Chains A and B, each alone.
Chain A
Amino acid sequence: MTRLRTTLLLGAMVLAIVMVFVYDTVRAVVDLDLMGLLILRELLIVAVVLAGYWLLGLALRGERKSIAKEIGRLTIGSAGAIFLLGAMLFFGPAKGTRTADLLPQDSVFGVLRGVTLGVILGGAALWTIQSLRQIVLFKRRKESQRNVIIYLSLLGTTAAASSPVLPLEGSFVLPLFVPLTILAAIVLSFRQNWIVYLSRREKLYTLLYAFLSFLFGLLTVVLIAQDHPVIIEFQQFSRSIYILVQQTAVLSTIYFGMAFISTLFHMPTAEVFERKQSELSSLHNLTRLTSQLLDFDTLVQTVTQMAQEVCGAKAVWLELLAKAPDGSWSTQVVAHRDISLAEVDEVRVALGSSYRDLVVEARSVVLVDDTWNDRRTKGLRDIGRLRGSLISVPLTARKELIGILHAAREMTQGFDQDDIDVLSSFGDHVTIAIENARLISRSIERERLQQELLVARRMQRQLLPSSVPQLERASFSASSESSTEVGGDYYDLVELGRDRWGIAVGDVSGKGVSAAFYMAEVKGIVLSLSRVCSSPKELLVRANEALHGSLERKAFVSLVYAVLNERTGDLILARAGHCPVIHGRGSSGRLIRPNGLGLGMAATDVFEGATEEQVIRLEPGDRCLFYTDGITEARDRNGEEFGYDRLMEIVGRSEDLSADDLKSRILAAVRTFADGAAYTDDMTLVVLQWRAPSAGPSASVPRP
């Protein structure tokens, strides 16, 4: 409904009233009692009433304010209408004046008075009906809606039936419908449930308003029943509106009379109800709180504030449990309200751990009715604090105590069963809210760590060679995959000068970040030593020297280091506890496994004594496999390991494969083997393939 249309409708209503007024004025002077015109006049009035009812309904629905205020406004409005009625009766023509004695101008005034009263009282009646309709329909049920419809139908029928254009005067209709309407009004007046939901303050106002409305209703009933010329003028304007006003006044009297009595009886329980409602809304807010993203401090502050509201406590504080790695626990005050942190600490000391243990063991709300005279809290008397009652609510998440909420009141026996119930359910919500907040912060932290790990992974990838050298007689192929973000596997191919190449493959014990750090350290050590150590054994001995003592005790590094002489085809290798190298020649493979000890496991002398070198003289077509145990220890669904035999078999059948193809074949075989089982270890593989020198003078020279 736009503002324009409302204005237009109001204008139309005013116009209709004016037309009725003009017609009545004319009729007072000239005889113009044409039946058609009379019916039209009645119809106009009915239309105005209906339009007014509808507009008022819209206006009242627009603002959903409290019922008490609504009644207040209605009371003031009806007071105005009654005042006008009283004034007209007082200043109008005296009682007993005959219509016939009136001067023509008096009869015009009479018509004006009748119309004014009709508009004002009719408007007040419509307003009353609309207001009462909405009050009765508060928290509606089917039957209350039905009752309202019945009442409105009866009222409408009664009012319409009393119109002079209908030949019902003296028939059964009015004597039947008037009592029925009153009966329906009585039925309606039993709908007073809205009173329960008023606050104490609102109830006080309602008491006043209801009483006044009751009086006004009664006054209206009495006043318009007068045999007074003004009332007769009103009836002449419209009998229907007269009946409407009369019936509404009856309804108002009955309904507000009942409302007054109900409110009066509800007064003693108002406070309790109000408290219940505030508990309810606090719990409701808390439930909302649990789903909100709050930082921890705001959350615990809000929680203590709500706890205070919920039970009307003087002081509230919240302790959370902090569990030490060794299993012991301590509590920490995270929020306090209307009690200083110093006071809380004093109280905590005075209560001692025995009280805390009591709450922990009770696993339910602990109530102390008289703190200074209770054995459990007698320490409070000594420090002269918290005289009165104390309630402590353990916060338990998944059967584990996460904290304790304390609330204190200044009077003894300050908490009743309701407080206990509400605080205990409050405690559950608080627990959830705190747990949620913690989970969120934990998941944010995890996300951050995940990002860091991805950075670490990228950096670690950069420590591995990005490409492998392709030499005239040797081709390489390499691959390294880690099972977690960062791994402990390492390989490198280093050009040593004078046609010599260093090949290193290693594995740091353990996994994760520590392994990744050691791997970086090993790379640095191998890289720098490879420049100065000509023999692989020497390199390993010195690498061990560097690592022994600097690694964690339980950590060690296995490494195989080989030096390939591209001119002679000699491959000298030494093994520090690492997987044996597989040497494939023709259709067979063998394990090259010189003695050796893992890096970092023993002092230099022991290590040096335990480590030996081995030389492989490569022939064209030879393949060498360097790898980590992730390859040989890959497991299938039944837990069986891939093992050396399968690896050697593939190497044996790979005579005509390139280094790349051999690598791919091995990786594919391991993956197929472990299909379905999760990879549990890092896998690194370096393949060296040795071939005959390319066609040239030297190629025809037979090998010695």
Chain B
Amino acid sequence: MSDFKVNHREGAGIHVIELKGYLDAHTATDLESAFQRLINDQKFRIVVNCRDLTYISSAGLGVFMAYIEDVRKNQGDIKLTNMSSKVYNVFDLLGFPILYEIYKDEQEAIRKFGESSTGR
């Protein structure tokens, strides 16, 4: 299988996870542990940048659903950005845009975090 990589960086209290490659049942555990680490560290403001994500399977989609509740319970969110149209299609088909904020651009997602925190 092609590679899958999870990269994590932080800026101004917002944690950006970059996904690269092929996210399926085999590689989903990598993303799971990345989310788990953030939640263990009480980091709940998460942006997932999907620019280099080439494929996502239902098991991959399941990872987001596994953690969204915990994150939102702690006034955080998982926002998705930079999806290719093919990947967006998969998210869209399942109705993800109804449940998740999906942005074209990472900065936009980070800005939204800023707005919501000032709004609160």
A interface residues (Cβ-Cβ under 8 A, vs B): 507, 509-511, 552-556, 558, 576-580, 593, 595-598, 601-602, 606, 610, 629, 639, 680-681
**Contact across chains for A606 and B98 when beta carbons are under 8 A apart:** yes
Contact among B59, B61, B62, B99 with A597 in the assembled complex (CB-CB below 8 Å): B99
Bound Cα distance A43, B63 (Å): 104
Bound Cα distance A397, B83 (Å): 46
Contact among A552, A601, A629 with B95 in the assembled complex (CB-CB below 8 Å): A601
Bound Cα distance A553, B2 (Å): 27
Asked if B58 CB lies within 8 Å of chain A CBs, one says: yes
Contact among B25, B69, B95, B99 with A510 in the assembled complex (CB-CB below 8 Å): B25
Asked if B65 CB lies within 8 Å of chain A CBs, one says: yes
**What's the least CB distance linking A543 to chain B, in Å?**
14
Contact among A507, A554, A578, A639 with B62 in the assembled complex (CB-CB below 8 Å): A554
1/0 per position for B65-107, CB-CB distance to A under 8 A? 1100100000000000000000000000111001100000000
Chain B residues whose C-beta falls within 8 Å of the C-beta of A511 in the assembled complex: 25, 59
**What's the least CB distance linking B82 to chain A, in Å?**
21
**What's the least CB distance linking B66 to chain A, in Å?**
4
**Contact across chains for A597 and B58 when beta carbons are under 8 A apart:** no
Main secondary structure, interface of A, reads loop
Chain A residues whose C-beta falls within 8 Å of the C-beta of B59 in the assembled complex: 509-511, 554
**Contact across chains for B94 and A555 when beta carbons are under 8 A apart:** no
**Contact across chains for A553 and B95 when beta carbons are under 8 A apart:** no
**Contact across chains for B95 and A596 when beta carbons are under 8 A apart:** yes
In the complex where A553-B69, A577-B93 touch, is A510 in contact with B98 (Cβ < 8 A)? no
Chain A residues whose C-beta falls within 8 Å of the C-beta of B25 in the assembled complex: 510-511
Q: How many A-B residue pairs have CB under 8 A?
A: 60
Chain A residues whose C-beta falls within 8 Å of the C-beta of B94 in the assembled complex: 556, 558, 577, 597-598, 601
Contact among A509, A593, A602, A639 with B58 in the assembled complex (CB-CB below 8 Å): A509
Bound Cα distance A559, B2 (Å): 29
Chain B residues whose C-beta falls within 8 Å of the C-beta of A606 in the assembled complex: 98-99
Most buried by A among B59, B63, B98: B98
**Contact across chains for B95 and A579 when beta carbons are under 8 A apart:** no
**What's the least CB distance linking A648 to chain B, in Å?**
15
Residues of chain B in range 8-45 having any CB-CB distance to chain A below 8 Å: 24-25
**What's the least CB distance linking A305 to chain B, in Å?**
44
Known: A507-B58, A601-B65. 16 other contacts (CB 8 A): A510-B59, A553-B65, A554-B59, A554-B66, A555-B62, A556-B58, A556-B62, A558-B58, A558-B94, A580-B93, A597-B98, A601-B94, A602-B95, A629-B58, A680-B24, A681-B57
**What's the least CB distance linking A300 to chain B, in Å?**
35
The tally of residues in B whose CB lies under 8 Å from a CB in A reads 17
**Contact across chains for A610 and B58 when beta carbons are under 8 A apart:** no
**Contact across chains for B65 and A595 when beta carbons are under 8 A apart:** no
Bound Cα distance A521, B29 (Å): 26
Bound Cα distance A553, B63 (Å): 9
Bound Cα distance A562, B98 (Å): 23
CB-based nearest B residue for A558: B94
A sample of 9 cross-chain residue pairs with beta-carbon separation below 8 angstroms, ordered by A number, consists of A510-B62, A554-B62, A554-B63, A577-B94, A578-B93, A597-B98, A606-B99, A639-B2, A681-B57
Bound Cα distance A629, B2 (Å): 20
Bound Cα distance A345, B102 (Å): 59
CB-based nearest A residue for B22: A639
Chain A residues whose C-beta falls within 8 Å of the C-beta of B98 in the assembled complex: 597, 602, 606, 610
Chain A residues whose C-beta falls within 8 Å of the C-beta of B63 in the assembled complex: 554
CB-based nearest B residue for A680: B24
Chain B residues whose C-beta falls within 8 Å of the C-beta of A558 in the assembled complex: 58, 93-94
Most buried by B among A558, A577, A580, A610: A577
CB-based nearest B residue for A596: B95
**Contact across chains for A602 and B93 when beta carbons are under 8 A apart:** no
**Contact across chains for B62 and A509 when beta carbons are under 8 A apart:** yes
Bound Cα distance A629, B94 (Å): 12
Bound Cα distance A593, B92 (Å): 11
Bound Cα distance A606, B69 (Å): 15
Chain A residues whose C-beta falls within 8 Å of the C-beta of B66 in the assembled complex: 552-554
Most buried by B among A509, A595, A681: A509
**What's the least CB distance linking A552 to chain B, in Å?**
8
**What's the least CB distance linking B25 to chain A, in Å?**
6
Chain A residues whose C-beta falls within 8 Å of the C-beta of B24 in the assembled complex: 680
**Contact across chains for A595 and B95 when beta carbons are under 8 A apart:** yes
In the complex where A554-B62, A556-B58 touch, is A577 in contact with B95 (Cβ < 8 A)? yes
**What's the least CB distance linking A632 to chain B, in Å?**
10
Chain B residues whose C-beta falls within 8 Å of the C-beta of A507 in the assembled complex: 58
The 3 tightest CB contacts between A and B, nearest first, are A597-B95, A554-B62, A554-B66
Most buried by A among B62, B63, B66, B99: B62
Chain A residues whose C-beta falls within 8 Å of the C-beta of B57 in the assembled complex: 681
In the complex where A510-B25, A510-B58 touch, is A554 in contact with B95 (Cβ < 8 A)? no
Bound Cα distance A554, B69 (Å): 11
Chain A residues whose C-beta falls within 8 Å of the C-beta of B65 in the assembled complex: 553-554, 556, 601
Bound Cα distance A601, B95 (Å): 9
In the complex where A602-B98, A606-B98, A606-B99 touch, is A579 in contact with B58 (Cβ < 8 A)? no
